[in-house]
Amino acid sequence: MKSIRVRLECDQVVEYKINGVESMPLLQNPDILLGRDDLTTLSYLHEPAVLSHLSFRFVKREAIYTYCGIVLVAINPYSNCSQLYGDDVYRGVGKQVRELDPHIYGVAEEAFFDLSQFDKDQSVIVSGESGAGKTVSAKFVMRYLASVASGPSRKPYGVAEAGVENRVLASNPIMEAIGNAKTIRNDNSSRFGKYIQINFNEHFAIAGAELKVYLLEKSRVVFQVRADNERNYHIFYQICASRSHPLLSDLNLAKMKCFIVGDWCSYYYTSQGDSGEVVGIDDAKDFLETVAAFDLLCIPAEVQKSIFRLFAGLLLFGNIGFVSKNDEYAEINVSSSEQFFL
């Protein structure tokens, strides 16, 4: 077996045994390329070099976005980065996107520019493992498109959008309430896939949108892993925290002795993960946002009540037990007061 001598960053020389080209040590990018905002400008693009470069940008530059050609690599910081998405962040709309720092808005701007200039359909694919931040990234793409497509001025997000654009965005809090949950890796993890098609008119203003969902994790409704401190879908905890809301008042939930504000642990379907309260999530406030989104989409109050009645019914069904009387017969084990609500 042959060996070579390698000089490390610390100026130490070590002997490295090799057995063919495959076992040769990977080369490091020169310091002059350190921190570049596009991975394709690096001399070496092997996995350690890419991870080291992304780590340097994230830790030293506090940059969560890095380009890799036409692809944007995003690192989930697991912290509030609202300063990255303020009104003044992308007032450079109309400039060459590559003149600006890597940003999710840049991807959306390039897609909208190609759509409006070349009249060709565009696709933005957001991919990554669980907890990578796909939901948030897709949300900001939609917000940016709703902003720039809302009028000829192409004002930045934050200024009131036209009705259609605002209704398109209203789908986000509803989808998050019903389809997102806390997992071991993400407090707001989407438990379904979605395909969003945004339609533009001849003036490249948003005319409407279509959303298709698939692969919903249905089993989460009845089971969550306690060891991982997971939660059921957000909507159940929103209802628990808002039982005095007018839309929930006729469900008689407030009269149930086990239905106390924030007492999610009284329900089997919301207590298995033993993590009903999550730092940074205000379920009562989020319920108001869910209702506001329904209102914005012109969903009648009676229909909303029916939707919430369905979720409340699921909570109650989760508390039903069965007592075996013999080999062929069992009966429901609930109190007389609980039978009234069933």
Residue 130 annotated as part of some ligand binding site? yes
Per DSSP, helices labelled H in 205-273 are 234-240, 246-249, 268-271
Q: Find residue 212's DSSP bridge partners.
A: 195
Query: Is 135 known to sit in a ligand binding site?
Result: yes
Is 131 part of any known ligand binding site? yes
Contact 35/60 with Cβ under 8 angstroms?
A: yes
User: Is 179 flagged in the annotation as binding?
Assistant: no
Alpha-carbon distance of 307 to 290, in angstroms, equals 12
Length of the chain measured in residues: 342
Helices (H), 180-300: 234-240, 246-249, 268-271, 283-296
Residue 60 in tokens? 């030293």
- 69 and 38 Cβ atoms separated by less than 8 Å: yes
128 is in an annotated binding site: yes
Taking the alpha carbons of 219, 223, 226, 232 in that order, is the dihedral positive or negative? positive
In terms of DSSP bridges, do strands 180-181 and 71-74 run parallel, antiparallel, or are they unpaired? unpaired
Annotated binding-site ranges:
128-135
Annotated binding-site ranges for ATP:
128-135
